[in-house]
Structure 1
Amino acid sequence: MTPVVVTGPPRANLSTVDELAALGVATAHEAMGRAGYLGSALRPVQQGVRVGGTAVTALCAPGDNLMIHAAVEQCAAGDLLVVATTSPSTDGFFGELLATALRVRGVRGLVTGTGVRDVAELRAMGFPVWSAAVSAQGTVKATAGAVNVPVVLGGQPVGPGDAVLADDDGVLCVPRRQVAAVLDAARSRVAKEEAARAAFVAGELGLDRYGLRERLAGLGVRYLTAEQYAAEVQ
Protein backbone atom coordinates (compact mmCIF):
# COMPACT_ATOMS: atom_id res chain seq x y z
CA MET A 1 0.00 0.00 0.00
CA THR A 2 1.31 3.43 -0.97
CA PRO A 3 0.73 6.01 1.79
CA VAL A 4 -1.21 8.71 -0.02
CA VAL A 5 -4.11 11.14 0.26
CA VAL A 6 -5.73 11.66 -3.13
CA THR A 7 -7.55 14.97 -3.39
CA GLY A 8 -10.49 15.93 -5.60
CA PRO A 9 -11.47 12.60 -7.18
CA PRO A 10 -14.39 12.72 -9.63
CA ARG A 11 -17.72 11.85 -8.04
CA ALA A 12 -20.94 10.35 -9.34
CA ASN A 13 -23.72 12.83 -10.03
CA LEU A 14 -25.36 13.32 -6.64
CA SER A 15 -28.90 13.92 -7.88
CA THR A 16 -28.75 10.64 -9.83
CA VAL A 17 -27.39 8.88 -6.75
CA ASP A 18 -30.27 10.28 -4.69
CA GLU A 19 -32.85 8.99 -7.16
CA LEU A 20 -31.28 5.54 -7.11
CA ALA A 21 -30.98 5.45 -3.32
CA ALA A 22 -34.68 6.23 -2.98
CA LEU A 23 -35.49 2.95 -4.77
CA GLY A 24 -33.62 0.92 -2.14
CA VAL A 25 -30.59 -1.32 -1.96
CA ALA A 26 -32.42 -4.54 -2.88
CA THR A 27 -33.95 -3.04 -6.03
CA ALA A 28 -30.68 -1.46 -7.14
CA HIS A 29 -28.81 -4.70 -6.45
CA GLU A 30 -31.20 -6.66 -8.67
CA ALA A 31 -30.98 -3.96 -11.33
CA MET A 32 -27.18 -4.34 -11.34
CA GLY A 33 -27.45 -8.05 -12.03
CA ARG A 34 -26.95 -8.90 -8.35
CA ALA A 35 -23.54 -7.24 -8.24
CA GLY A 36 -21.99 -4.73 -5.86
CA TYR A 37 -23.50 -5.92 -2.56
CA LEU A 38 -21.01 -5.49 0.30
CA GLY A 39 -22.27 -8.50 2.22
CA SER A 40 -24.45 -9.35 5.18
CA ALA A 41 -21.70 -8.61 7.73
CA LEU A 42 -22.33 -4.86 7.42
CA ARG A 43 -25.32 -4.05 9.59
CA PRO A 44 -27.00 -0.72 10.40
CA VAL A 45 -26.56 0.79 13.85
CA GLN A 46 -29.98 2.45 13.39
CA GLN A 47 -33.19 1.24 11.79
CA GLY A 48 -35.40 2.72 9.11
CA VAL A 49 -32.72 4.88 7.47
CA ARG A 50 -32.08 4.95 3.72
CA VAL A 51 -29.17 7.00 2.39
CA GLY A 52 -27.03 7.34 -0.69
CA GLY A 53 -23.88 9.31 -1.33
CA THR A 54 -20.54 9.43 -3.07
CA ALA A 55 -17.67 7.48 -1.57
CA VAL A 56 -14.67 8.95 0.16
CA THR A 57 -12.51 5.95 1.03
CA ALA A 58 -10.04 5.43 3.88
CA LEU A 59 -7.69 2.45 4.04
CA CYS A 60 -6.40 1.98 7.58
CA ALA A 61 -4.03 -0.31 9.43
CA PRO A 62 -5.69 -2.69 11.93
CA GLY A 63 -6.48 -0.95 15.20
CA ASP A 64 -5.41 2.45 13.82
CA ASN A 65 -7.80 5.19 12.71
CA LEU A 66 -5.25 7.83 11.68
CA MET A 67 -6.42 7.81 8.07
CA ILE A 68 -10.05 8.39 9.06
CA HIS A 69 -8.92 11.73 10.48
CA ALA A 70 -7.10 12.44 7.21
CA ALA A 71 -10.20 11.44 5.24
CA VAL A 72 -12.46 13.89 7.08
CA GLU A 73 -10.66 16.78 5.39
CA GLN A 74 -11.40 15.30 1.96
CA CYS A 75 -15.13 14.89 2.61
CA ALA A 76 -17.78 17.18 1.17
CA ALA A 77 -21.54 17.50 1.33
CA GLY A 78 -23.23 14.42 -0.08
CA ASP A 79 -20.37 12.04 0.61
CA LEU A 80 -20.40 8.76 2.52
CA LEU A 81 -17.17 7.77 4.27
CA VAL A 82 -16.15 4.18 3.50
CA VAL A 83 -13.50 2.61 5.74
CA ALA A 84 -11.54 -0.59 5.13
CA THR A 85 -8.46 -2.07 6.79
CA THR A 86 -5.43 -3.87 5.40
CA SER A 87 -6.33 -6.91 7.51
CA PRO A 88 -9.43 -7.67 9.59
CA SER A 89 -10.03 -5.50 12.64
CA THR A 90 -13.21 -5.04 14.66
CA ASP A 91 -11.93 -2.38 17.07
CA GLY A 92 -14.02 0.75 17.60
CA PHE A 93 -12.50 2.94 14.89
CA PHE A 94 -15.28 5.53 14.90
CA GLY A 95 -17.49 7.26 17.41
CA GLU A 96 -19.47 10.37 18.22
CA LEU A 97 -16.60 12.88 17.87
CA LEU A 98 -15.71 11.80 14.34
CA ALA A 99 -19.41 11.74 13.46
CA THR A 100 -19.69 15.33 14.65
CA ALA A 101 -16.77 16.37 12.43
CA LEU A 102 -18.30 14.62 9.42
CA ARG A 103 -21.80 15.96 9.92
CA VAL A 104 -20.49 19.54 9.94
CA ARG A 105 -19.10 18.84 6.46
CA GLY A 106 -22.41 17.50 5.18
CA VAL A 107 -21.34 13.85 5.13
CA ARG A 108 -24.35 11.54 5.03
CA GLY A 109 -23.01 8.54 6.93
CA LEU A 110 -20.34 5.93 7.46
CA VAL A 111 -19.81 2.44 6.04
CA THR A 112 -17.01 0.50 7.70
CA GLY A 113 -15.66 -3.00 7.77
CA THR A 114 -14.44 -2.31 11.31
CA GLY A 115 -16.19 -1.74 14.61
CA VAL A 116 -17.74 1.45 15.91
CA ARG A 117 -18.53 2.72 19.40
CA ASP A 118 -20.61 5.46 21.05
CA VAL A 119 -23.58 3.75 19.45
CA ALA A 120 -26.19 5.41 21.67
CA GLU A 121 -24.75 8.82 20.86
CA LEU A 122 -24.64 8.06 17.12
CA ARG A 123 -28.31 7.08 17.19
CA ALA A 124 -29.25 10.14 19.23
CA MET A 125 -27.53 12.51 16.83
CA GLY A 126 -29.04 10.75 13.82
CA PHE A 127 -25.75 9.96 12.09
CA PRO A 128 -26.24 6.80 9.99
CA VAL A 129 -23.65 4.04 10.33
CA TRP A 130 -23.25 0.58 8.84
CA SER A 131 -20.48 -1.48 10.45
CA ALA A 132 -19.17 -5.00 10.82
CA ALA A 133 -19.04 -4.80 14.62
CA VAL A 134 -19.65 -2.72 17.72
CA SER A 135 -16.71 -2.49 20.10
CA ALA A 136 -15.66 -0.33 23.01
CA GLN A 137 -12.03 -1.17 22.19
CA GLY A 138 -10.44 1.97 20.78
CA THR A 139 -7.62 2.55 18.32
CA VAL A 140 -4.28 4.34 18.01
CA LYS A 141 -3.17 6.94 15.46
CA ALA A 142 0.28 5.81 14.41
CA THR A 143 0.30 4.09 11.01
CA ALA A 144 0.14 5.59 7.54
CA GLY A 145 -2.58 4.41 5.17
CA ALA A 146 -4.39 5.91 2.22
CA VAL A 147 -7.39 8.11 1.40
CA ASN A 148 -9.40 8.05 -1.83
CA VAL A 149 -7.87 4.89 -3.22
CA PRO A 150 -9.84 1.78 -4.25
CA VAL A 151 -10.70 -0.44 -1.27
CA VAL A 152 -12.46 -3.78 -0.85
CA LEU A 153 -15.35 -4.47 1.52
CA GLY A 154 -17.24 -7.74 1.59
CA GLY A 155 -15.23 -8.89 -1.41
CA GLN A 156 -16.48 -5.95 -3.49
CA PRO A 157 -14.40 -3.04 -4.80
CA VAL A 158 -15.34 0.48 -3.75
CA GLY A 159 -13.68 3.37 -5.54
CA PRO A 160 -13.57 7.03 -4.58
CA GLY A 161 -16.56 8.82 -6.07
CA ASP A 162 -18.59 5.65 -6.55
CA ALA A 163 -22.22 5.68 -5.46
CA VAL A 164 -22.83 3.98 -2.12
CA LEU A 165 -26.40 3.10 -1.14
CA ALA A 166 -27.34 1.87 2.34
CA ASP A 167 -30.53 0.92 4.14
CA ASP A 168 -31.90 -1.80 6.40
CA ASP A 169 -31.11 -4.42 3.72
CA GLY A 170 -27.39 -3.62 3.65
CA VAL A 171 -24.92 -1.64 1.57
CA LEU A 172 -24.39 -1.51 -2.20
CA CYS A 173 -21.65 0.08 -4.28
CA VAL A 174 -22.49 1.24 -7.79
CA PRO A 175 -19.44 2.20 -9.87
CA ARG A 176 -19.46 5.89 -10.74
CA ARG A 177 -19.77 5.38 -14.49
CA GLN A 178 -22.67 2.93 -14.12
CA VAL A 179 -24.99 4.97 -11.91
CA ALA A 180 -27.22 6.37 -14.67
CA ALA A 181 -27.64 2.97 -16.36
CA VAL A 182 -28.41 1.26 -13.06
CA LEU A 183 -31.01 3.94 -12.29
CA ASP A 184 -32.76 3.24 -15.60
CA ALA A 185 -32.74 -0.51 -14.91
CA ALA A 186 -33.99 0.03 -11.38
CA ARG A 187 -36.90 2.18 -12.59
CA SER A 188 -37.90 -0.59 -14.99
CA ARG A 189 -37.74 -3.11 -12.18
CA VAL A 190 -39.94 -0.92 -9.96
CA ALA A 191 -42.55 -0.70 -12.72
CA LYS A 192 -42.59 -4.50 -13.04
CA GLU A 193 -42.90 -4.88 -9.27
CA GLU A 194 -45.82 -2.47 -9.17
CA ALA A 195 -47.61 -4.54 -11.82
CA ALA A 196 -46.89 -7.73 -9.89
CA ARG A 197 -48.12 -6.17 -6.65
CA ALA A 198 -51.41 -5.22 -8.28
CA ALA A 199 -51.78 -8.75 -9.62
CA PHE A 200 -51.12 -10.30 -6.21
CA VAL A 201 -53.66 -7.95 -4.62
CA ALA A 202 -56.15 -9.24 -7.21
CA GLY A 203 -55.41 -12.81 -6.12
CA GLU A 204 -52.99 -14.01 -8.78
CA LEU A 205 -50.30 -16.43 -7.58
CA GLY A 206 -46.61 -16.13 -8.23
CA LEU A 207 -46.73 -19.72 -9.50
CA ASP A 208 -48.86 -18.53 -12.41
CA ARG A 209 -47.51 -15.03 -12.98
CA TYR A 210 -43.91 -16.23 -13.24
CA GLY A 211 -44.61 -19.52 -15.00
CA LEU A 212 -43.34 -21.52 -12.05
CA ARG A 213 -45.76 -24.42 -12.41
CA GLU A 214 -43.91 -25.47 -15.56
CA ARG A 215 -40.60 -25.14 -13.75
CA LEU A 216 -41.78 -27.32 -10.88
CA ALA A 217 -42.98 -29.94 -13.35
CA GLY A 218 -39.67 -29.81 -15.19
CA LEU A 219 -37.87 -30.43 -11.90
CA GLY A 220 -40.00 -33.50 -11.26
CA VAL A 221 -42.22 -32.03 -8.55
CA ARG A 222 -45.56 -33.88 -8.37
CA TYR A 223 -48.82 -32.89 -6.69
CA LEU A 224 -50.23 -35.69 -4.52
CA THR A 225 -53.21 -35.82 -2.25
CA ALA A 226 -52.51 -36.56 1.40
CA GLU A 227 -53.80 -40.10 0.86
CA GLN A 228 -51.58 -40.67 -2.17
CA TYR A 229 -48.52 -39.38 -0.31
CA ALA A 230 -49.26 -41.58 2.70
CA ALA A 231 -49.59 -44.62 0.45
CA GLU A 232 -46.25 -43.90 -1.25
CA VAL A 233 -44.25 -43.48 1.95
CA GLN A 234 -45.55 -46.60 3.69
Structure 2
Amino acid sequence: MLKKFEDLSTPLVADACVRLGEPLRSAPTGILPVVAGQRVAGRALPVRHYGSVDVFLEAFTLAEPGDVLVIDNAGRHDEACIGDLAVLEAEAAGVTGVVVWGLHRDTPDLVEIGLPVFSYGRHAPGPVRLDPRDPDALTTARFGEQEVTVGDVVFADDDGVLFVAAARVDAVLDVARTLFSTERDQARRIRAGETLRTQTRFDAYLAGRAEDPSYTFRQHLRRIGGAIEE
Protein backbone atom coordinates (compact mmCIF):
# COMPACT_ATOMS: atom_id res chain seq x y z
CA MET A 1 0.00 0.00 0.00
CA LEU A 2 2.85 2.38 0.76
CA LYS A 3 4.16 1.76 -2.75
CA LYS A 4 0.80 2.83 -4.20
CA PHE A 5 0.88 5.97 -2.03
CA GLU A 6 4.50 6.95 -2.64
CA ASP A 7 3.85 9.67 -5.26
CA LEU A 8 0.65 10.93 -3.65
CA SER A 9 -0.28 12.86 -0.50
CA THR A 10 -3.06 13.04 2.04
CA PRO A 11 -4.41 16.25 0.44
CA LEU A 12 -4.74 14.38 -2.87
CA VAL A 13 -6.43 11.43 -1.15
CA ALA A 14 -8.79 13.82 0.62
CA ASP A 15 -9.65 15.59 -2.65
CA ALA A 16 -10.23 12.22 -4.32
CA CYS A 17 -12.67 11.25 -1.58
CA VAL A 18 -14.57 14.49 -2.15
CA ARG A 19 -14.58 13.96 -5.92
CA LEU A 20 -15.99 10.43 -5.49
CA GLY A 21 -18.48 11.35 -2.78
CA GLU A 22 -16.68 9.14 -0.25
CA PRO A 23 -16.83 10.02 3.45
CA LEU A 24 -13.96 12.37 4.31
CA ARG A 25 -12.57 10.70 7.43
CA SER A 26 -9.64 12.61 8.84
CA ALA A 27 -7.88 12.61 12.18
CA PRO A 28 -8.42 15.79 14.21
CA THR A 29 -6.05 18.56 13.21
CA GLY A 30 -2.65 18.75 14.86
CA ILE A 31 -1.29 15.24 14.41
CA LEU A 32 2.31 15.17 13.16
CA PRO A 33 5.04 12.64 12.48
CA VAL A 34 7.76 12.40 15.11
CA VAL A 35 10.22 12.80 12.23
CA ALA A 36 9.18 15.25 9.52
CA GLY A 37 8.73 13.67 6.13
CA GLN A 38 7.70 10.24 7.36
CA ARG A 39 4.80 8.58 5.53
CA VAL A 40 2.46 5.71 6.29
CA ALA A 41 -0.04 3.69 4.26
CA GLY A 42 -1.48 0.35 5.31
CA ARG A 43 -4.33 -1.63 6.81
CA ALA A 44 -5.49 -0.36 10.17
CA LEU A 45 -4.68 -2.43 13.26
CA PRO A 46 -6.96 -0.83 15.86
CA VAL A 47 -6.38 -0.88 19.60
CA ARG A 48 -7.82 0.99 22.57
CA HIS A 49 -5.43 1.89 25.38
CA TYR A 50 -6.53 1.57 29.00
CA GLY A 51 -3.29 2.27 30.83
CA SER A 52 -1.23 -0.87 30.23
CA VAL A 53 1.07 -1.92 27.39
CA ASP A 54 -0.38 -5.44 27.39
CA VAL A 55 -3.15 -4.38 25.02
CA PHE A 56 -0.52 -3.43 22.43
CA LEU A 57 1.27 -6.76 22.82
CA GLU A 58 -2.04 -8.56 22.30
CA ALA A 59 -2.78 -6.47 19.23
CA PHE A 60 0.58 -7.47 17.75
CA THR A 61 -0.48 -11.11 17.83
CA LEU A 62 -3.14 -10.13 15.27
CA ALA A 63 -0.85 -8.02 13.09
CA GLU A 64 -0.20 -8.69 9.43
CA PRO A 65 2.88 -7.36 7.63
CA GLY A 66 2.27 -3.78 6.54
CA ASP A 67 -0.37 -2.99 9.15
CA VAL A 68 -0.54 0.44 10.80
CA LEU A 69 -1.22 0.45 14.54
CA VAL A 70 -4.06 2.89 15.28
CA ILE A 71 -4.10 3.74 19.00
CA ASP A 72 -7.18 5.19 20.65
CA ASN A 73 -6.07 7.00 23.80
CA ALA A 74 -9.10 9.29 23.76
CA GLY A 75 -6.95 12.27 22.77
CA ARG A 76 -5.59 12.51 26.31
CA HIS A 77 -2.98 15.17 27.07
CA ASP A 78 -2.09 14.00 30.58
CA GLU A 79 -0.07 10.93 29.62
CA ALA A 80 2.04 9.48 26.83
CA CYS A 81 0.71 6.07 25.90
CA ILE A 82 3.52 4.75 23.69
CA GLY A 83 7.31 4.84 23.75
CA ASP A 84 10.40 3.11 22.47
CA LEU A 85 9.77 -0.46 23.64
CA ALA A 86 6.24 -0.64 22.24
CA VAL A 87 7.44 0.83 18.93
CA LEU A 88 10.31 -1.66 18.73
CA GLU A 89 7.82 -4.46 19.36
CA ALA A 90 5.53 -3.05 16.67
CA GLU A 91 8.42 -3.13 14.22
CA ALA A 92 9.22 -6.74 15.21
CA ALA A 93 5.58 -7.67 14.53
CA GLY A 94 5.75 -6.32 10.97
CA VAL A 95 3.82 -3.13 11.70
CA THR A 96 4.96 -0.33 9.40
CA GLY A 97 3.71 2.68 11.35
CA VAL A 98 1.84 3.95 14.38
CA VAL A 99 -0.78 6.70 14.62
CA VAL A 100 -1.87 7.81 18.08
CA TRP A 101 -4.92 9.73 19.21
CA GLY A 102 -2.81 10.96 22.08
CA LEU A 103 0.83 11.56 22.97
CA HIS A 104 4.17 9.72 22.73
CA ARG A 105 7.40 9.78 24.72
CA ASP A 106 11.03 8.60 24.33
CA THR A 107 11.34 10.91 21.34
CA PRO A 108 15.11 10.51 20.71
CA ASP A 109 14.70 6.74 20.76
CA LEU A 110 11.77 6.87 18.34
CA VAL A 111 13.86 9.00 15.99
CA GLU A 112 16.63 6.43 16.13
CA ILE A 113 14.25 3.48 15.61
CA GLY A 114 12.87 5.15 12.48
CA LEU A 115 9.45 3.49 12.41
CA PRO A 116 6.96 6.25 11.49
CA VAL A 117 5.01 7.41 14.53
CA PHE A 118 2.31 10.08 14.32
CA SER A 119 0.95 11.71 17.47
CA TYR A 120 -0.26 14.97 18.97
CA GLY A 121 2.99 15.64 20.76
CA ARG A 122 5.50 14.49 23.33
CA HIS A 123 5.01 14.12 27.07
CA ALA A 124 7.34 12.62 29.67
CA PRO A 125 4.82 10.97 32.07
CA GLY A 126 3.36 7.64 31.07
CA PRO A 127 0.06 6.20 32.32
CA VAL A 128 -0.53 5.75 36.05
CA ARG A 129 -4.10 4.49 35.61
CA LEU A 130 -5.49 1.06 34.78
CA ASP A 131 -9.06 1.30 33.52
CA PRO A 132 -11.47 -1.54 32.71
CA ARG A 133 -11.12 -2.78 29.15
CA ASP A 134 -13.99 -2.87 26.65
CA PRO A 135 -14.64 -6.13 24.77
CA ASP A 136 -13.93 -4.41 21.43
CA ALA A 137 -10.53 -3.03 22.49
CA LEU A 138 -8.85 -4.93 19.64
CA THR A 139 -11.50 -4.47 16.95
CA THR A 140 -12.30 -0.76 16.90
CA ALA A 141 -10.43 2.43 17.72
CA ARG A 142 -11.93 5.87 18.03
CA PHE A 143 -9.89 8.68 16.50
CA GLY A 144 -11.68 11.93 17.10
CA GLU A 145 -15.06 11.54 15.44
CA GLN A 146 -13.89 8.55 13.40
CA GLU A 147 -14.27 4.88 14.24
CA VAL A 148 -11.51 2.81 12.71
CA THR A 149 -11.51 -0.97 12.09
CA VAL A 150 -9.45 -3.52 10.18
CA GLY A 151 -11.73 -2.71 7.25
CA ASP A 152 -9.95 0.63 6.88
CA VAL A 153 -6.68 1.77 5.34
CA VAL A 154 -4.60 4.50 6.98
CA PHE A 155 -2.78 7.21 5.02
CA ALA A 156 -0.49 9.63 6.86
CA ASP A 157 2.10 12.27 6.00
CA ASP A 158 3.14 15.76 7.10
CA ASP A 159 -0.37 17.09 6.35
CA GLY A 160 -2.24 14.68 8.61
CA VAL A 161 -3.93 11.29 8.78
CA LEU A 162 -6.86 9.93 6.76
CA PHE A 163 -8.89 6.73 6.99
CA VAL A 164 -10.42 5.18 3.86
CA ALA A 165 -12.57 2.06 3.62
CA ALA A 166 -10.40 -0.70 2.17
CA ALA A 167 -13.06 -1.58 -0.39
CA ARG A 168 -12.78 1.93 -1.87
CA VAL A 169 -9.04 2.46 -1.69
CA ASP A 170 -8.23 1.53 -5.29
CA ALA A 171 -10.87 3.87 -6.69
CA VAL A 172 -9.74 6.69 -4.39
CA LEU A 173 -6.08 6.27 -5.34
CA ASP A 174 -6.92 6.17 -9.04
CA VAL A 175 -8.67 9.54 -8.78
CA ALA A 176 -5.87 10.89 -6.57
CA ARG A 177 -3.36 10.02 -9.30
CA THR A 178 -5.48 11.81 -11.90
CA LEU A 179 -5.63 14.90 -9.68
CA PHE A 180 -1.88 14.69 -9.09
CA SER A 181 -1.20 14.63 -12.82
CA THR A 182 -3.54 17.57 -13.44
CA GLU A 183 -2.08 19.67 -10.63
CA ARG A 184 1.54 18.96 -11.60
CA ASP A 185 0.74 20.09 -15.13
CA GLN A 186 -0.91 23.23 -13.79
CA ALA A 187 2.14 23.97 -11.62
CA ARG A 188 4.46 23.46 -14.59
CA ARG A 189 2.44 25.87 -16.69
CA ILE A 190 2.41 28.53 -13.95
CA ARG A 191 6.20 28.34 -13.75
CA ALA A 192 6.31 28.71 -17.53
CA GLY A 193 4.33 31.96 -17.30
CA GLU A 194 0.75 30.80 -17.86
CA THR A 195 -1.15 32.03 -14.81
CA LEU A 196 -3.67 29.89 -12.99
CA ARG A 197 -6.35 32.44 -13.88
CA THR A 198 -5.61 31.87 -17.55
CA GLN A 199 -5.50 28.09 -17.19
CA THR A 200 -8.83 27.98 -15.37
CA ARG A 201 -10.48 30.48 -17.74
CA PHE A 202 -11.29 32.59 -14.72
CA ASP A 203 -12.82 35.38 -16.80
CA ALA A 204 -15.30 32.86 -18.21
CA TYR A 205 -16.09 31.71 -14.69
CA LEU A 206 -16.80 35.27 -13.56
CA ALA A 207 -19.03 35.81 -16.60
CA GLY A 208 -20.88 32.56 -15.91
CA ARG A 209 -21.39 33.49 -12.27
CA ALA A 210 -22.70 36.90 -13.29
CA GLU A 211 -25.35 35.17 -15.39
CA ASP A 212 -26.08 32.48 -12.81
CA PRO A 213 -25.13 33.35 -9.20
CA SER A 214 -25.44 29.67 -8.24
CA TYR A 215 -22.61 28.73 -10.63
CA THR A 216 -19.65 27.69 -8.46
CA PHE A 217 -15.95 27.59 -9.19
CA ARG A 218 -15.96 23.83 -8.56
CA GLN A 219 -18.62 23.37 -11.22
CA HIS A 220 -16.53 25.48 -13.56
CA LEU A 221 -13.38 23.46 -12.87
CA ARG A 222 -15.17 20.20 -13.52
CA ARG A 223 -16.56 21.60 -16.76
CA ILE A 224 -13.10 22.50 -18.06
CA GLY A 225 -11.24 19.56 -16.51
CA GLY A 226 -9.26 21.52 -13.91
CA ALA A 227 -8.42 20.61 -10.35
CA ILE A 228 -7.22 22.80 -7.40
CA GLU A 229 -10.09 22.44 -4.93
CA GLU A 230 -10.99 18.79 -5.47
Measured against the shorter chain, the TM-score band is 0.7 to 0.9
SS in 1 for 2:101: strand
Give the Cα separation in 1 of the matches to 2:128 and 2:17: 38
Partner of 1:109: 97
1:21 and 1:51 in contact (8 A); partners too: no
Structure 2 residue identity aligned to 1:116: H
Partner of 2:47: 58
SS in 1 for 2:60: helix
Size of the aligned set, in residue pairs, is 203
Give the Cα separation in 2 of the matches to 1:79 and 1:164: 9
Matched, 1:151 2:141: yes
Matched, 1:23 2:8: yes
Partner of 2:121: 133
Structure 2 residue identity aligned to 1:79: D
SS in 1 for 2:126: coil
2:44 and 2:150 in contact (8 A); partners too: yes
Give the Cα separation in 2 of the matches to 1:197 and 1:48: 22
Partner of 1:41: 30
Identity of aligned residues (%): 29
For residue 123 of structure 1, the aligned residue among 72, 89, 111 is: 111
CA offsets 1:42-87 (integer angstroms, 9 cap, x no match):
11111111221111000223x45442232122222101100113x4
**Shift of the alpha carbon at 1:109?**
1.1
**Shift of the alpha carbon at 1:213?**
4.1
CA offsets 1:196-215 (integer angstroms, 9 cap, x no match):
12211221111222233455
SS in 2 for 1:191: helix
SS in 2 for 1:58: strand
Larger-gyration structure (1/2)? 1
CA RMSD of aligned residues (A): 2.3
Matched, 1:204 2:191: no
Q: Which runs of 5+ in 1 are unaligned?
A: 1-13, 220-234
For residue 174 of structure 2, the aligned residue among 184, 196, 201 is: 184
For residue 95 of structure 1, the aligned residue among 72, 80, 83 is: 83
Give the Cα separation in 2 of the matches to 1:74 and 1:57: 10
**Shift of the alpha carbon at 1:169?**
1.1
Q: Residues 29, 43 of structure 1: CA spacing in aligned structure 2 closer, same or farther, 3 A cutoff?
A: same
For residue 68 of structure 1, the aligned residue among 56, 64, 74 is: 56
CA offsets 1:111-156 (integer angstroms, 9 cap, x no match):
0111110011000111211112311111257332434423331322
Give the Cα separation in 1 of the matches to 2:92 and 2:172: 30
Structure 1 residue identity aligned to 2:29: S
CA offsets 1:179-231 (integer angstroms, 9 cap, x no match):
11101111211121122122112211112222334556758xxxxxxxxxxxx
Structure 2 residue identity aligned to 1:89: R
**Shift of the alpha carbon at 1:157?**
2.9
Q: Residues 181, 28 of structure 1: CA spacing in aligned structure 2 closer, same or farther, 3 A cutoff?
A: same
SS in 2 for 1:164: strand
